[in-house]
Structure 1
């Protein structure tokens, strides 16, 4: 059963929407703590978020941006603000879909179903498994024999490119180009430091010797 978190301050509308979604097999939750709504939303561990723009304390744009910094959970903006600029801003901040009020309930349900299916298919591309080592890209977690550890952004990118090229040498320049996508300056020494930290984290959960150094070339799994 998919869980949907509703961020809507109109109590009547929220209850009607929750009742509708419950009827169609979804489990709904919400919070009136709009001052801490980002934390409340992430704590719900939902599969999808329905987000209004006009909210107390922080508007939906701020909420969308803050959630997207920490989670890839699908977000559908549902709002009475229907200008092209509102839709454009929502999409630029990371929303997955945009629906205007008043909406046809069947169209809303169709959008929810489509976004959830798309998210499920994306999950399949977010997990890499090799020799009992499982890398969950969306959660930035690597696990092995019931133990797991969280990776930094750079550690995640290094392990992802190495696991996707298992059996082949990945040259240092290629890895540094991948890391250049971050805001942090990456040089040859920074790469070495990140690889050593990654190796230490892997060893801490029992993964020994996974990453081989190919002298003057790069690394490989």
Structure 2
């Protein structure tokens, strides 16, 4: 597995690299902070460790750039520990967040969890390729949602939410269930992070012409209904 480290502190980057190599990960550290996109494409990593405070552009910017071409897991590692920074990380496409100073064991555990979920025993490639309900089709390999000859790409978290809703159509899914589905460690997640991701899924559906089908059930959670197929 290839891991790309985008960290401007050489000491921290070196510690992460040396620790990961002990577990047989192939590791590359950013060389030019002006060419992160080019380095990412050339190395083609399976996971990115991304700091927020970087030269020129911040980690949120680079997370968006990576998300425009890849759905690989992105783990933020930052000294910024405010709830808003963590929400911003998720909102911009990050998968998890660790604050500095960190314990290497925690970082390694999160890396293993993300890699296992995406590429291992819970890998998307091992799941049924297509889920189709009344013309709405979810491609679980390509992470794409299609309806009436229109297609939109999904981030990994958008995909996991959409898949859960489509597999349990017309059933209420609790906030706790959805949070556990998306994050192994809920301690850093505040109440807004799930809402942000639900909003993003709603927008993706609306872009396809399917509106108001994910309902907020007060005090219980969320429910997706199949009323778009009812005339």
Band of TM-score, shorter chain = 0.5 to 0.7
Match of 2:65 in 1: 66
Aligned pairs for 1:4-83 (under 5 A) are 4-83=3-82
CA-atom RMSD, angstroms?
3.1
Matches for 1:1-221 after TM superposition, within 5 Å: 2-120=1-119, 121-124=122-125, 128=129, 136-138=141-143, 154=150, 181=205, 183=207
Q: How big is the shift at 1:154? A: 3.6
| Cα shift at 1:57 | 1.2
**Contact 1:126 / 1:138 at 8 angstroms: preserved in 2?**
no
2:6–2:50 contact (8 Å) kept in structure 1:
yes
- Structure 1: runs of 5 or more not aligned: 141-152, 158-179, 186-221
- Counterpart position of 2:227: none
By how many angstroms is 1:9 displaced? 1.2
Q: Which 5+ residue runs of structure 2 have no aligned equivalent?
A: 131-138, 154-203, 210-231
Measure the CA separation in 2 of the matches of 1:13 and 1:128.
40
Aligned length: 149
Q: TM-score scaled by structure 2?
A: 0.56
User: CA separation of 1:32/1:83 partners in 2, compared to 1, >3 Å: closer, same or farther?
Assistant: same
Quote the Cα distance in structure 1 between the aligned partners of 2:152 and 2:96.
Answer: 28
| 4+ long deviations beyond 4 Å | 182-185
Q: Is the 8 A contact 1:51 1:75 kept in 2?
A: yes
**Shift in Å, 1:32:** 1.8
Q: What is the Cα deviation at residue 43 of structure 1?
A: 2.4
Kept in 1, the 8 Å contact 2:144–2:152? The answer is no
